Amino acid sequence: MKRRDFICGLSCMLAGFGLCEAKTKMIPQKKCNNPSKDMYIPINKELSEIYIETTFHCNLNCKSCDAFSPISKQEMVKYDEFLRDFSKIKELYPNKDIDILYLGGEPLLNPDLLKMVKKTRELFPNGKQSIMTNGILLADMDEEFWNSMKNNNVKLRVTCHPVDIDRKKSELLAEKYGIELESDVIYSDKLYDINTHKVTKNNLENSEQQKKCKHHWSKPIMDISGSQDYIEKFYTCVHRCFGNSYFNGNLYLCWRHTHLRVFSDYFNLNIPITKNDYIKIADVKDAKEINDFISSPNKLCSYCKQCHNTCFNGKPKEWGFSEKDISEWT
């Protein structure tokens, strides 16, 4: 699923105008392939939003997946570690309601998802909670799931890939239980069969929606040589304005850092990922330690070619199934 395109337009605007955080000191930085606008970036960031990478694997096979799910093993957040770490985060930020976004892979594949949702609502009663899902499983989720979404005030963000499934049932269930459901259409003029991986027919309804949709499929651009200026990349990255990524005990600057080892391992790139590239929640002594980490450049940024104005290249691209080729990410 495409979490980048979902927030990218908004993040570009916020970063460009220096509105990422209400109480953050702003400093001008280098221009980034955009001669018309200086980039203003927050420093002294405080943890305010966490992306929980509930699973690495997915029930779709999207070309150029942000999370590298087509080439990932079946990994998911372990509830015992989650419980320990988020209880610790609450101790470190006792008066803060941290926002939670459940990501993947596909979050609905994690059997402990509802337990995590309940616990984060207990810990952060006024924080926003959302689940980003491709929606394939939604229509088959049971009453316990929908009641959990309602009781814990969870918003569903559905990335509508051009696959042949019944979305109307999910929409009716969300309406029945009073759940906010937000859809994001992924560009395509075709409809794909998720079982045969073949184009089944023209998706006219989807195409009509896409004419009004600003969010399109686009691929992440990785630099396998790691030759990017990681300091410049860090200070010109729109995603610094948003959540930090959590997976099994560790907090990362962003989701791409969390999943980078999958990309490295599958293609035998030997990208060095060290203890300096994440922070182990169980070992943290105070909130300042976390805040300093998420406010500092990280060398893993040298493997990312993304920039604040390259979220969209001006033309929507055709969505499709992954062939697990490195060109999909480079």
Q: Which two tokens stand for residue 151?
A: 């009781």
CA diameter of the chain: 57
pLDDT band at 98 (very low <50, low <70, confident <90, very high): very high
Mean pLDDT, rounded, of the chain: 81
- Beta-bridge partner residues of 40: 28
Average pLDDT of the segment spanning 145-152:
98
Higher per-residue confidence, 32 vs 164: 164
Average pLDDT of the segment spanning 293-313:
75
DSSP code string of 45-76 = ----EEEEE-BS--SS-BTT-TT-GGG--S-B
pLDDT band at 165 (very low <50, low <70, confident <90, very high): confident
Domain range for 56: 3-328
Q: What is the CATH number of the domain that holds 90?
A: 3.20.20.70
Q: What percent of the chain has pLDDT over 70?
A: 72
DSSP code string of 211-234 = TT---------B-TT--S-HHHHH
Q: What is the pLDDT of residues 200-220, one digit of tens each?
A: 654 445 545 444 444 456 677
Residue 103, SS3? strand
| Distance separating alpha carbons of residues 109 and 107, to the nearest angstrom | 5
DSSP code string of 104-160 = SS-GGG-TTHHHHHHHHHHHSTTS-EEEEE-STTGGG--HHHHHHHHHTTEEEEEEE
How buried is 170 (Cβ within 10 angstroms: 0-12 exposed, 13-18 middle, 19+ buried)? buried
Q: What is the pLDDT of residues 240-280, one digit of tens each?
A: 767 899 999 999 999 899 999 999 999 999 999 999 999 99
pLDDT band at 128 (very low <50, low <70, confident <90, very high): very high
**Number of compact structural domains in the chain:** 1
- Beta-bridge partner residues of 53: 103
Query: What are the C-alpha distances in Å from 61 to residues 68, 197, 259?
Result: 10, 9, 16
Higher per-residue confidence, 22 vs 162: 162
Cβ atoms within 10 Å of 49's Cβ, excluding its own = 14
User: Do 4 and 220 meet the contact criterion of CB atoms below 8 Å apart?
Assistant: yes
Pick the closest to residue 252 from 20, 137, 85, 58 (CA basis). 85
| Distance separating alpha carbons of residues 83 and 169, to the nearest angstrom | 33
